[in-house]
Amino acid sequence: MDQQQLSRIQINFTGAVVIITCAFLLWQYVNGGVPNHHLLHRADLPAISNWWGLVVLPALTWLLLMRINKRVLEQHQQKSEQESKQETDKSPSNIVTSLVVAMIYGGVMSSFFVFGKQELTGIMFQGIFVLALFFRLYREEFVLGFILSMSFAFGAVLPTIFACVIGLAAFILYHLPRFIYATISSRLMGNKQS
């Protein structure tokens, strides 16, 4: 894929997010009003309106897709210079798959919460941390899919805050064990050689 194709995808996807967000907010407005969501689901904390989705979702979509496009172009450039089998997880088809999987996971998790199945929501929430040990859940496509799918249940701002915290935790959970393993391995190899 070249820069022009990726830019077209970015524009079209962001446009689709704007249209879907406007349609959903209009539907909410007509059917009882656009709801507000309290931080941590507590009435004593500030409430954030779903109207913020008109700003937050398109901006996040645009920015995250821009970062994904940059990563894809860098990977394509690396492949043309030298074949790198380690970078295959950056291919566009894997990015789309990751986005869809994150959307499904976030959608199911949100549905459990909305329908009063908090115990299942809790299990899925804890499952994120287990999955973060094996997958790069901090990547933009996972974060975007998660935010988009949860925004219909919780508005745009709360899932964005949630995804940022989860993304940071996922980054640490993915890289820290590998760093510790590499450090221990290199010290053990150093001791064997001396």
| 111-139 residue pLDDT tens | 999 999 999 999 999 999 999 999 999 99
Among candidates 23, 20, 39, 19, which has minimal Cα distance to 31?
Answer: 23
For the chain, strand residue ranges (E) read: 36-38, 47-49
Question: What pLDDT, on the 0 to 100 scale, is given for residue 88?
Answer: 46
d(CA 119, CA 14): 34
- Residue 45's CB is within 10 A of a number of other CB atoms, namely 10
- Residue 93's CB is within 10 A of a number of other CB atoms, namely 8
| 148-174 residue pLDDT tens | 999 999 999 999 999 999 999 999 999
Domain regions of the chain by residue span: 3-193
Assess contact for 110 and 150: CB atoms under 8 A.
yes
Question: What pLDDT, on the 0 to 100 scale, is given for residue 90?
Answer: 52
Question: What pLDDT, on the 0 to 100 scale, is given for residue 65?
Answer: 96
> Which residues contact residue 124 at a Cβ distance below 8 angstroms, ignoring those fewer than 6 apart?
105, 108, 109, 112
| 95-114 residue pLDDT tens | 999 999 999 999 999 999 99
> Which residues contact residue 182 at a Cβ distance below 8 angstroms, ignoring those fewer than 6 apart?
none
Question: Ramachandran region of residue 42, left (φ > 0), alpha (ψ -120 to 50) or beta?
Answer: beta
Collapsing DSSP to helix, strand or coil, 98 comes out as helix
| 49-107 residue pLDDT tens | 999 999 999 999 999 999 999 999 888 887 766 654 444 445 678 999 999 999 999 99
Q: Are strands 47-49 and 36-38 parallel, antiparallel or unpaired?
A: antiparallel
